[in-house]
Amino acid sequence: MEMQYNNLGKSGLQISRLSLGSWLTFGKQISDDTAEALMTYAYEQGINFFDNAEIYARGKSEEVMGSVLKKKGWSRDSYIVSSKAFFGIGGQLPTQKGLNRKHLVEACEAALQRFQLSYLDLYYCHRPDKQTPIEETVWTMHQLIMQGKILYWGTSEWSAQEIMEAHMFAKQNHLIGPVVEQPEYNMFVRNKVEVEYAQIYKTVGLGTTIWSPLASGILSGKYNEQFPDDTRLGMEGLEWLKERNLTQERISAVLALGNLAKELGLSLPVMSLAWCLKNPNVSTVILGASKLQQLQENMQALEAQQLLTVEVMQRIEDILQNKPEFPAY
């Protein structure tokens, strides 16, 4: 099936419904050759968005991605590339992280050097920063756009209130506000995307580039019986991911979902990705693959959407029992 594209929020930027991320893989879990094979396959399938961040493999992820882009020589107007700033690349000094003007400007310059690019299409504030006024962050992002170093900016894991504060300040001062948010979204983590941001989609507009659509691999079914060695929940330093995701309740739900997927003739990961795509407020689903075969399988999610009828979506709700409720007031 051909790739589908849609606008990123209320911007004019056309983004592919599926995209390729590099967290935990590029420069870390996979070889540079595998990274190249994944990007090449993705690009050939019509994926136009490659997601990255300064903290991913402490800058190495951006270097690997930049090298592939340079080697491939793809036309710069044919793909979208992102970075995110907040965590730094491991430096512990107070000026080496956050959303203050100094770090945002320096992190942008450093990312461009690692990518070997002259501008970023998307630049995210990777987390909210309680130490920096939102006004300073908005001004800085606007200035980076004016300087031609970034084209659009966005947020990641911000609350609806923080996003609206940024918009209000931008509007009052005729500045460019954020167009996109990168939240976690999957069958087990739903509140932000489905409830908290509901009004923002309608008012100022908000694109979403969602991460962890398979709940760190839980929705691949690979953790049901045993614990494979080469997976992200087995990686050192990611114990928090394992504790949060690998609950007995979730594994029971995954088994039931697996049976439903089988009934539809789909694999569980493909059904889980198609479920995310069914949400009209999801601009793109970021795929994280460590093997080409995984990425090839994940691409089937586009076509699988049509099998997720109203009835099937209800059956999924009956298994999950976690539909977020809107506040009563």
**pLDDT band for position 249 (cuts 50, 70, 90):** confident
Would you say the pTM of this structure is higher than 0.75?
yes
Q: 52 lies in a domain? A: yes
Split into its structural domains, the chain has a count of 1
Nearest by Cα to 186 from 134, 131, 245: 245
Percent of the chain with pLDDT over 90: 85
pLDDT at 226 over 70: no
Q: 49 lies in a domain? A: yes
Look at 224 and 142; give whichever has higher pLDDT: 142
Look at 223 and 106; give whichever has higher pLDDT: 106
pLDDT at 141 over 80: yes
Q: 287 lies in a domain? A: yes
Q: Which residues are catalytic?
A: 56
Q: 179 lies in a domain? A: yes
Query: In this predicted structure, what is the pLDDT of residue 247?
Result: 76
Q: 263 lies in a domain? A: no
pLDDT in tens, 30-71: 999 999 999 999 999 999 999 999 999 899 999 999 999 999
Query: In this predicted structure, what is the pLDDT of residue 238?
Result: 63
Q: What's the average model confidence in pLDDT over 289-301?
A: 96
Q: 315 lies in a domain? A: no
Instruction: Quote the domain boundaries for residue 288.
Output: 5-217+279-300
Give 256: exposed, middle or buried? Use CB within 10 Å, 0-12, 13-18, 19+. middle
Give 227: exposed, middle or buried? Use CB within 10 Å, 0-12, 13-18, 19+. exposed
Distance between CA atoms of residues 70 and 213, nearest Å: 29
Distance between CA atoms of residues 8 and 286, nearest Å: 14
Distance between CA atoms of residues 7 and 126, nearest Å: 22
CATH number assigned to the domain comprising residue 162: 3.20.20.100
Q: 225 lies in a domain? A: no
**For the CA atoms of the chain, what is the radius of gyration?**
19
Query: Where would I find the beta strands (DSSP E) of the chain?
Result: 5-7, 14-16, 18-21, 49-51, 80-85, 120-125, 150-155, 180-181, 207-210, 284-287
- Is the Cβ–Cβ distance between 261 and 224 less than 8 Å? no
- Is the Cβ–Cβ distance between 155 and 115 less than 8 Å? no
Q: 322 lies in a domain? A: no
Whose tokens are 């987390």? That residue is 127
pLDDT in tens, 82-106: 999 999 999 999 999 999 999 999 9
